[in-house]
Amino acid sequence: MANENLGAARKAKNDEFYTQFHDIEKEMGAYLDYDSEVFRGKTVLLPCDDPEWSNFTKYFAQNFQRLGLKKLISTSYAPNSKPKELNLQPTLFELESPQFDEEKAAANGKIFTLTRDTTGDDVINVDDLEWSYLDGDGDFRSEEITRLRDEADVIITNPPFSLFREFLAWIIEANKQFVIIGNMNALTYREVFPLIRDNRLWLGNGFHKGNAYFATPTTREYADGVFDEETGLVKFRNALWFTNLDHGRRHQPLPLMSEADNLKFSKHKEVKGTGYTKFDNYEAIEVPFTDAIPSDYKGVMGVPISFLDKYSPEQFEIIGLIAGNIRGLAGIPTSTGKDGPYVGGKLKYGRILIRHKKVEK
Ligand SMILES: C[S@@+](CC[C@H](N)C(=O)[O-])C[C@H]1O[C@@H](n2cnc3c(N)ncnc32)[C@H](O)[C@@H]1O
């Protein structure tokens, strides 16, 4: 049931899910392992955040000097613009700040910036963050936050799930580097898939075993095993990192067996002894499991969407997607006029169409 949470969150506009520090640290670590200079001299914007305690802000403020950042900007959304039942009150930090303003505390977003040592201890860290109220409520679509987007080099956040499409479009239209969290379903969105096919967006390093746990202040009912009252964490099964920053895992080729070996040794009964069938409506073979992709097949192969987590652009070319309403993206005419991938008259789940770049001899 956990995988239904993002859908449910969208319906109820429940966007209050906070990312854990170690997930952020592990994900950023993957980009830094690949290129230790990836953030050097950059302005990093963390929109849709809650700078007073967000782990994104904490991570980048703590690592400001090590990463060689030029500037860190973090913005939050006004309490009045969030669901009422959250009943958000200013924190002690805000109440005790000289710039505290009761009206603005409710109606305005906040901006935190970090560029220099303000405390005089010769280090730049979380204690040097400077803050003020935004003019508006911090909506990422506002002119105020869009100006900050334009100033930034890299945009990093866990955006509101209910506005994922809009948020991604907002980043892409400005041609920025980004690392954001989203749901696996987004991979097949009309706005997202072409970016994946064209290697302008890919999956990040990922959450441990594909399970993501977010902190939430909401107390609505969850299915069994989804919400842990002791930790306050909600489990999502299909949360992913979407990025255009490079990382090592993306360049590791999938180890694969030949077609003949799959027929003999595949651990999947659907493949062993049976081999591969062709789609009724596409000139491609159906490969029901990513680890059953034959290493020596020259033509087009339809593979599960989860293949994208193993995709290396040196190994494969992505040709298209056959998933109901966006089959046109496949660029392959359908012979039957039916939607989606059909095999032996049966509809299969969405498939990504791929081809080996170099076929093994
Ligand atoms: C999924 S939460 C993530 C918060 C934080 N980035 C983190 O990962 O810990 C998304 C946040 O975006 C805020 N939000 C919702 N709609 C927004 C909008 N239009 N503009 C900016 N922020 C928004 C929500 O109130 C919520 O705090």
Q: Are residues 149 and 241 in the same domain?
A: yes
Q: d(Cα 22, Cα 296) in Å, to the nearest integer?
A: 40
Read off the pLDDT band of 5 (50, 70, 90): low
Q: Are residues 118 and 39 in the same domain?
A: yes
Rounded average pLDDT over 329-342: 53
Three-state secondary-structure class, residue 239: strand
Q: d(Cα 229, Cα 145) in Å, to the nearest integer?
A: 35
Ligand 1 atom 7: residue of nearest CA? 18
Q: Please tell me the predicted confidence (pLDDT) of residue 327.
A: 47
Read off the pLDDT band of 93 (50, 70, 90): confident
- What percent of the chain has a predicted confidence (pLDDT) above 70? 90
**Amino acid letter, residue 142:** S
Ligand 1 centroid to Cα of residue 47, in Å, is 8
Pocket lining: 17 vs ligand 1, CB cutoff 6 Å: yes
Give the total number of structural domains in the chain.
2
281 pLDDT more than 70: yes
Burial profile 49-83: b = 16 or more Cβ within 10 angstroms, e = fewer? bbbbebbbbbbbbebbeebebebbbbbbbbbeebe
Domain assignment of residue 319, yes or no: yes
Q: Are residues 212 and 312 in the same domain?
A: no
236 or 159, which is more confident: 159
Q: Are residues 315 and 196 in the same domain?
A: no
Q: Please tell me the predicted confidence (pLDDT) of residue 332.
A: 45
Q: What does DSSP say about strands 212-215 and 43-49: parallel, antiparallel, or unpaired?
A: unpaired
Burial (Cβ within 10 Å: 0-12, 13-18, ≥19) of residue 345: exposed
Q: Are residues 96 and 240 in the same domain?
A: yes
Helix (H) or strand (E) holding 302: strand 301-304
- Looking at the CA of residue 77, tell me the nearest atom of ligand 1: 22
Domain assignment of residue 179, yes or no: yes
Residues with Cβ within 8 Å of 295's Cβ and at least 6 positions away in sequence, in order, are 256, 257, 258, 259, 356, 359, 360
349 or 39, which is more confident: 39
Q: Please tell me the predicted confidence (pLDDT) of residue 328.
A: 47
Range of the structural domain that residue 51 is part of: 2-249
pTM for the full predicted model: 0.92
Q: Are residues 34 and 56 in the same domain?
A: yes
Domain assignment of residue 361, yes or no: no
Lowest-confidence pick of 12-26, 99-113, 259-273: 12-26
pLDDT in tens, 199-228: 999 999 999 888 899 998 776 667 677 888
Q: Please tell me the predicted confidence (pLDDT) of residue 336.
A: 45
Q: Are residues 239 and 318 in the same domain?
A: no
Domain assignment of residue 41, yes or no: yes
Q: Are residues 281 and 194 in the same domain?
A: no
Three-state secondary-structure class, residue 298: coil
Q: d(Cα 250, Cα 205) in Å, to the nearest integer?
A: 8
Q: Are residues 181 and 329 in the same domain?
A: no
Pair of tokens at residue 112: 């935190």
Ligand 1 atom 16: residue of nearest CA? 160
Ligand 1 centroid to Cα of residue 153, in Å, is 20
Residue of 46, 48, 81 to test ligand 1 pocket, by largest number of atoms within 8 Å of CB: 48
Helix (H) or strand (E) holding 154: strand 154-157
Q: Mean pLDDT score of the chain, rounded to an integer?
A: 89
Residue of 15, 60, 140, 166 to test ligand 1 pocket, by largest number of atoms within 8 Å of CB: 15
Could you give the residue ranges of the DSSP H alpha helices within 152-268?
A: 164-172, 193-197, 259-265
Pocket lining: 311 vs ligand 1, CB cutoff 6 Å: no
Domain assignment of residue 298, yes or no: yes
Pocket lining: 137 vs ligand 1, CB cutoff 6 Å: no
Domain assignment of residue 136, yes or no: yes
Most confident of 51-60, 102-111, 215-224: 102-111
Q: d(Cα 5, Cα 223) in Å, to the nearest integer?
A: 9
Q: Please tell me the predicted confidence (pLDDT) of residue 8.
A: 52
CA 354 vs CA 251, 286, 312: distances in Å: 16, 11, 11
Q: d(Cα 160, Cα 138) in Å, to the nearest integer?
A: 13
Q: Are residues 14 and 69 in the same domain?
A: yes
Q: Are residues 138 and 201 in the same domain?
A: yes
Q: d(Cα 25, Cα 33) in Å, to the nearest integer?
A: 12
Q: Do residues 359 and 298 lie in contact, with contact meaning Cβ atoms separated by under 8 Å?
A: yes
Domain assignment of residue 254, yes or no: no
Ligand 1 centroid to Cα of residue 312, in Å, is 31
Looking at 249, 281, 296, which one is the last position of a domain? 249
Looking at 249, 279, 310, which one is the last position of a domain? 249
pLDDT in tens, 291-314: 999 999 999 999 999 999 999 999
Rounded average pLDDT over 17-26: 96
Q: Are residues 48 and 185 in the same domain?
A: yes
